[in-house]
Amino acid sequence: MPDPRDAPLAGRRDPFAPLLENPLAAMLRDPEGPGAAAFAVPTAGAPLPMTRYADGRERINLGTGNYLGLAGDPRVAAAAAEALRRYGTSTSGSRVLNGTTGLHLRLEEELADYYGTEAAVLTSSGVNANVGLLSTICGPEDVLLVDGHVHASLHAAAGASRGTAVRFRHNDLGSLKERLARVDSRAGVVVVVDGVYSMTGELAPLAELADICGATRARLVVDEAHGLGVIGDGGRGAAEETGVLHRVDAVTIALSKSLASVGGAIMTSRAAAEGIRASAMPYVFSAANDPASVAAALTALRILRSEPERVATLQDNCALLRRVLTENRARPIPGEGAVIAVPTGPDEVTGPAWRLAFEAGVYTNAVTYPAVPRGRGVLRLTLMATHTPEQLRRAGEIVADSVASARNAAACLAPAAIA
Q: Please state the rounded mean pLDDT for residues 338-345.
A: 96
Question: Binning pLDDT at 50, 70 and 90, where does residue 34 land?
Answer: very low
pLDDT(345) > 90 = yes
The domain ranges of the chain are: 28-61+309-418, 73-306
Terminal alpha carbon distance of the chain: 47
The angle subtended at Cα 135 by Cα 131 and Cα 138, nearest 5°, is 145
Instruction: Identify the bridge partners of residue 120 per DSSP, sorted by sequence position.
Output: 267
Can 28-61+309-418 and 73-306 be said to share one CATH topology? no
CB neighbours of residue 364 within 10 Å: 26
Closest residue by Cα to residue 322 from 313, 331, 314, 310: 331
pLDDT(419) > 80 = no
Q: Is 215 exposed, middle or buried (0-12, 13-18, 19+ CB in 10 A)?
A: exposed
Q: How far is CA 214 from CA 18, 244, 249, 405, 410, in A?
A: 42, 11, 11, 49, 50
Largest CA distance in the chain: 65
pLDDT digits (tens, 9 = 90+) for 252-303: 999 999 999 999 999 999 999 999 999 999 999 999 999 999 999 999 999 9
Of the candidate ranges 86-90, 114-118, 367-371, 373-377, the one whose mean pLDDT is the lowest:
367-371
Q: How far is CA 277 from CA 14, 121, 288, in A?
A: 38, 8, 12
The residue ranking higher by pLDDT, 29 or 117, is 117
Question: Binning pLDDT at 50, 70 and 90, where does residue 371 land?
Answer: confident
The residue ranking higher by pLDDT, 204 or 372, is 204
Q: Please state the rounded mean pLDDT for residues 3-11.
A: 62
Write the CB contacts of 415 (distance below 8 Å, at least 6 apart in sequence): none
Q: Which CATH code of 3.40.640.10, 3.30.70.1400, 3.40.50.1950, 3.40.50.10320 fits the domain covering 73-306? A: 3.40.640.10
Question: What is the dihedral angle through the alpha carbons of 58, 63, 65, 69, rounded to the nearest 10 degrees?
Answer: 30
Instruction: Identify the bridge partners of residue 147 per DSSP, sorted by sequence position.
Output: 168
**3-class secondary-structure state, position 60:** strand
DSSP 251-292: EEEETTSTTSSS-EEEEE-HHHHHHHHHH-HHHHSSBPPPHH
pLDDT at 90: 95
Distance CA 147, CA 388 (A): 35
Question: What is the dihedral angle through the alpha carbons of 251, 252, 258, 260, rounded to the nearest 10 degrees?
Answer: 140
Does the domain at residues 28-61+309-418 carry the CATH identifier 2.60.40.10?
A: no
Cα 209–chain centre separation: 21
* Stretch (H or E) spanning 112: helix 102-115
DSSP 350-373: HHHHHHHHHHHTEE-EEE-TTTS-
pLDDT at 35: 47
Radius of gyration of the chain (CA): 22
pLDDT digits (tens, 9 = 90+) for 391-417: 999 999 999 999 999 999 988 876 554
pLDDT(324) > 70 = yes
Strands 362-363 and 58-61: parallel
Question: Binning pLDDT at 50, 70 and 90, where does residue 205 land?
Answer: very high
pLDDT(38) > 90 = no
Please state, for a pLDDT cut of 70, what percent of the chain lies above it. 92
Distance CA 66, CA 152 (A): 20
Question: Binning pLDDT at 50, 70 and 90, where does residue 180 land?
Answer: very high
CB neighbours of residue 117 within 10 Å: 22
Residue 196 near residue 230, CB atoms below 8 Å: yes
Q: How far is CA 260 from CA 46, 64, 66, 264, in A?
A: 11, 11, 6, 12
Q: Is 328 exposed, middle or buried (0-12, 13-18, 19+ CB in 10 A)?
A: middle
Question: Binning pLDDT at 50, 70 and 90, where does residue 321 land?
Answer: very high
Please state, for a pLDDT cut of 90, what percent of the chain lies above it. 83
Amino acid symbol at 77 = A
Q: Is 333 exposed, middle or buried (0-12, 13-18, 19+ CB in 10 A)?
A: middle
pLDDT at 5: 57
pLDDT(139) > 60 = yes
Averaged confidence pLDDT in the chain: 92
DSSP 299-356: HHHHHHHH-THHHHHHHHHHHHHHHHHHHTT-PPPP--SSEEEEEEESHHHHHHHHHH
